[in-house]
Structure 1
Amino acid sequence: MAIYRSDGDKYAIAFVGFSYIDLVLLFICLRLFEKAEPNSSTRSNLKAAVWVLTTLLTVVFSYKVAAIMPVPVQVLVWAMAGATVLGGFYAFFVHRESKY
């Protein structure tokens, strides 16, 4: 439906296609991550893939939103996207849960 409504806009079609492919890959990686053995290299690789896929989605959606906003709001959108990406990196790769 989104491609039909894009009225032949190549960039809109690419955005929709990329978003759907990214989401499908994200769900596949999440499912494989859940099934992977704890502390395995496969699990670590899947964690990295999940972070990359969510980062890509954050960037493309931020780009689309920022494109229609005035400059001060664009700065806010990109700041929030950066905080989300960095927060995700910290949560996935830096933070260690306490054993208590």
Structure 2
Amino acid sequence: MAKNKSHSNINLWDYAFVTSCYVELMLLFYCLRKHENMTADAPTDDRDRLKGVVWVLCTLLTCTFAWRISQILPWYLNIIIWGMSASVIVVGFYFFFLFQNEDSQLANKYCKLDTDHKEEKKFKFSPEDKV
């Protein structure tokens, strides 16, 4: 009597792809949360290092998906997929590390998600102000 194999098409590369994507996304969300919780007076070196890690994780995730998609597409579409991936990586690097102007520096100082809700009372109006 032969065993009934329900998972006859198990491919370890499929599991590796899914696992690596989940790990990369978890690390990316962890780093983004850590960057989000940094105060305005945090050292610039820590911010730059964290931006570098985020860029590397985004690059790794982009290449992982491009590699997976390129396995099922013909060679002429692979050129397009890898070209698009490379352009996203290069543009991301430019905007993460090279592009600096006064508006972006000012925005970086004030764009922090307020998770402790200390500023919530500042914008509440009294009943007299609402009228």
Q: Same fold (TM over 0.5)?
A: yes
Provide the alpha-carbon RMSD of the alignment: 1.9
Residue 90 (structure 1) aligns with: 94
TM-score for the superposition, normalised by structure 2: 0.67
How many residues in Structure 1 have an aligned counterpart in Structure 2?
Answer: 96
- Give the percent of matched residue pairs that are identical in Structure 1 and Structure 2: 35
Which runs of no fewer than 5 residues in structure 2 stay unpaired?
1-6, 107-131
Q: Which has the higher helix share?
A: 1
Instruction: Please list, as runs of the form range in 1=range in 2, the aligned pairs for 1:57-96 lying within 5 A after superposition.
Output: 57-96=61-100
Which runs of no fewer than 5 residues in structure 1 stay unpaired?
none
CA contact (8 A) 1:6 1:13 kept: no
- What is the one-letter code of the residue matched to 1:37? T
- Give the alignment partner of residue 32 of structure 1, picking from 21, 31, 34: 34
CA contact (8 A) 1:37 1:43 kept: no
TM-score for the superposition, normalised by structure 1: 0.87
Residue 59 (structure 2) aligns with: 55
